[in-house]
Structure 1
Amino acid sequence: MGGEDPVLILGIESATQQVGCALGGHEGVLASAHSARGRRHAESITPQIQFVARQARINLKDVGCVAVDLGPGLYTGLRVGISSAMAMAYALGVPMIGVSSLDLLAFAVRHTNRLIVAAIDARRSELFYAFYRQVPGGVQRVSEAQVGTPDDLASELLATGEEMLLVGDGARRYADVFAGLQKTEIAEQGLAHPSAASLVQLAHARALREEFVKPWELRPIYLRIPDADVNWNTR
């Protein structure tokens, strides 16, 4: 798959309340679709894939790689997205690339010079978050991804003393906690969820470096025991 072959990528993203798909490659993102309301993730993904394929005028048999958001995020949505992406990769006989949901959020605001803080609503009054800085062509994570309360994150932000841009549905949900912090701005609602278009762009750069994995090698990034397991253990 090396050499001059332009790798066509199908991206599937379902780590938060939004589900999205996109197709693209060396020409950029050819088509994408996202939905955050209505039907459940499992019922949205297949029609979305068919829709973006029609919009891009692509036969899915021409896809050379399936990219997927590995999380962290909401357990059920993540599981649906990853299993759908793996099923597509198996059916097409192509490799995969997995990308973190926090990386996707940060990538969307890569043109800022400020410290980027990607924060996803983890429910149970917690956030999944990580810190990023702009680098040529994208962003670089400068902290481990972690789970903590909004107050935990606010304390970390206060300690940095830097100008910061917060992005993600977690930042927006707990905006009141961060409102009092100086030099801190929250990105617009349109950037609150990881984007399937960003997934295709990030995955394409990695595909050119042939950083593929086999479907069975993919590992979701949970950061926390899934709610279903917690509920079972406490019964």
Structure 2
Amino acid sequence: MAILLNIETATKNCSVGLAKDGETVALREIATQNFSHAEKLHVFIEELFLESNLKLQDLDAIAVSQGPGSYTGLRIGVSAAKGLCYALSVPLISVDTLEVIARKITVENGIIVPMIDARRMEVFSAFFDTNFNKIRETQAEIIDATSYGEFSETLHLIGDGAMKFKAVLTDAKFKYYPEIEFPSAIEMAKISYHKYQNNQFEDVAYFEPFYLKDFVMLTKK
């Protein structure tokens, strides 16, 4: 049996799960406007182990959402994951944040387009088929009324970046799911377990999150 800790902090959702053989057995998560990752992450981890009667030493690996997403959120999650990997001498697994969102929906046809809000009219997005295979690489793109005009199939737009385009992308081929906003450690479980089985591990010393865009610090005038 493989026991994995899944850490998802790439968006406003601070989500942590314990999984056995790819199935989540304990979960803690909270989504707030002001990001509570620094305050909640380690508390959640401690609570998970108390609830499950497991110890940190029982872990076989630790998985972390690699991005794209919030610069600060990713730094907090990756720092925590790397620190635990060092301390416990267990491997580190990285998981594509957009795939985690994509796996929150099940459809029979069309293209799944997870979108993470990147402010204004920009999103981080990728395309996945109905089996969650990535068919277009991750991009930071500005959306307007002409976006995705070359596609005739149904486009399932999900994630916290999707709903702000409902008044812009109005063709019937666009389907919106307002209930699907953020990635969760629940959907990380199967991905990380598959990578664990195939020894797809990161170099703990050199691994960095996938920011996609350079960090820009905003200061009040």
TM-score, normalised with respect to structure 1 = 0.86
Structure 1, unaligned runs of 5 or more = 1-5
CA pair 116-51 structure 1, distance change in 2 beyond 3 A: same
What is the aligned partner in structure 1 of residue 91 from structure 2?
95
Matched residue SS, 2:195:
helix
Cα deviation 1:17-37 (Å, max 9, x = unaligned): 111100002161111111012
User: Cα RMSD between the aligned structures?
Assistant: 1.8
Cα deviation 1:92-115 (Å, max 9, x = unaligned): 111111011111111222444221
- Shift in Å, 1:128: 0.3
- Percent of counterpart pairs with the same letter? 31
2:3 to 8, 13, 29: 8
2:45 is the alignment partner of 1:49: yes
Q: Distance in 2 between matches of 1:184 and 1:143?
A: 17
What is the aligned partner in structure 1 of residue 20 from structure 2?
25
2:170 is the alignment partner of 1:174: no
Q: Which amino acid aligns with 1:90?
A: Y
Runs of at least 4 residues off by over 6 Å: none
CA contact (8 A) 2:5 2:61 kept: yes
Q: How does 1:119-198 map to 2 (within 5 A)?
A: 119-135=115-131, 139-151=132-144, 155-178=146-169, 180-189=170-179, 191-198=180-187
Structure 2, unaligned runs of 5 or more = none
CA pair 162-93 structure 1, distance change in 2 beyond 3 A: same
CA pair 219-155 structure 1, distance change in 2 beyond 3 A: farther
1:66 to 59, 62, 65: 62
CA pair 155-218 structure 1, distance change in 2 beyond 3 A: farther
Structure number having the greater helix percentage: 1
How many correspondences in the alignment?
Answer: 218
Q: Distance in 2 between matches of 1:84 and 1:122?
A: 24
TM-score, normalised with respect to structure 2 = 0.92
